Chains A and B, each alone.
Chain A
Amino acid sequence: NAGVMQNPRHLVRRRGQEARLRCSPMKGHSHVYWYRQLPEEGLKFMVYLQKENIIDESGMPKERFSAEFPKEGPSILRIQQVVRGDSAAYFCASSMTGVGTEAFFGQGTRLTVV
């Protein structure tokens, strides 16, 4: 799982600011998944993307959150106008193909909203 790179590792934002979390998948992987872990809880699925396509965003909050995975460059999870409740660890995972393969997780970005 060392191959999935997330940055920054820690991010502090004031309420109302924007947070941008980046994820570079493992080499050769074209499928990316974002998960969020709130304190004292398990990881929760947010969104599944392939290059330039959102496949399933059923776990994403309807407002303020967006994700993209452009043809070139990392996947970005963007949170606008952050609130304290957005404080969590955000994990990205990638896989070579989609359904039916094991996904590898990155080290996560810990977002703290003050």
Chain B
Amino acid sequence: DQQVKQNSPSLSVQEGRISILNCDYTNSMFDYFLWYKKYPAEGPTFLISISSIKDKNEDGRFTVFLNKSAKHLSLHIVPSQPGDSAVYFCAASELSNDYKLSFGAGTTVTVRA
């Protein structure tokens, strides 16, 4: 069963504009959420996380928003850069077992020059 869903398999955005990636989850026990970035032939790299006590976390060009009532989170990248072209995975877990991540299927972001 897919507890974390990324409904957009791909996203194309102009360099300098905002990229918005969306993620929905079904398990109400999840209280820790992460975004990973993955280049071809490499493993996922941690990008940013948020716990359920917050609704926003910002790190440079990356901001994650959490809407607990809607069981929805999003990642904003602004401004988008060509090096941001990658697959982005949303992941969730219970904080008490944060190694047991449930991943979405990923969104491939392409930043156009």
Binding site for B on A (CB under 8 A): 1, 4, 6, 9, 31, 33, 35, 37, 40-45, 48, 56, 58-59, 91, 93, 95, 98-100, 102-108
One digit per residue, 1 when the CB lies within 8 angstroms of any chain A CB and 0 when it does not, for chain B 1-45 equals 010101000000000000000000000000000001000011111
Report if B98 contacts A (CB, 8 A): yes
Say whether B100 contacts A48, CB under 8 Å.
yes
20 additional contacts (CB under 8 A) given A48-B100, A56-B97 = A42-B4, A42-B6, A42-B91, A42-B102, A42-B103, A42-B105, A43-B89, A43-B101, A44-B102, A45-B99, A45-B101, A59-B100, A93-B43, A98-B99, A99-B95, A102-B46, A103-B99, A107-B41, A107-B42, A107-B43
Known: A42-B89, A98-B99, A99-B99. Is A1-B42 also a contact (CB below 8 A)?
Answer: yes
Q: Are A43 and B44 in contact (CB under 8 A)?
A: yes
CB atoms of A108 and B43 under 8 A apart: yes
Chain B interface extent, by class: 20 to 34
Per-position binary interface string of chain B over residues 44-73, scored 1 when its CB falls under 8 Å from any chain A CB and 0 otherwise: 111001000000000000000000000000
Q: How far is the CA of A41 from the CA of B103 in the complex (A)?
A: 8
**Residues in B lying within 8 Å of A, measured CB to CB:** 2, 4, 6, 36, 41-46, 49, 89, 91, 95-106
Query: Which residue of B36, B89, B97 has the most chain A CB atoms within 10 A of its CB atom?
Result: B97
Instruction: Decide: A44 and B103 in contact? CB cutoff 8 A.
Output: yes
Given contacts A43-B44, A91-B44, A105-B45, contact A100 B98 (CB under 8 A): yes
CB atoms of B104 and A42 under 8 A apart: yes
Taking the nearest CB of chain B, how far is it from the CB of A72, in angstroms?
23
Chain B neighbourhood of A91, CB < 8 A: 43-44
What are 29 of the A-B contact pairs (CB < 8 Å)? A1-B42, A1-B45, A33-B99, A35-B101, A42-B2, A42-B91, A42-B102, A42-B104, A43-B44, A43-B91, A43-B101, A45-B99, A45-B101, A56-B100, A58-B100, A91-B43, A95-B99, A99-B95, A99-B97, A99-B98, A99-B99, A100-B98, A103-B46, A103-B99, A105-B36, A105-B45, A106-B43, A107-B41, A107-B43
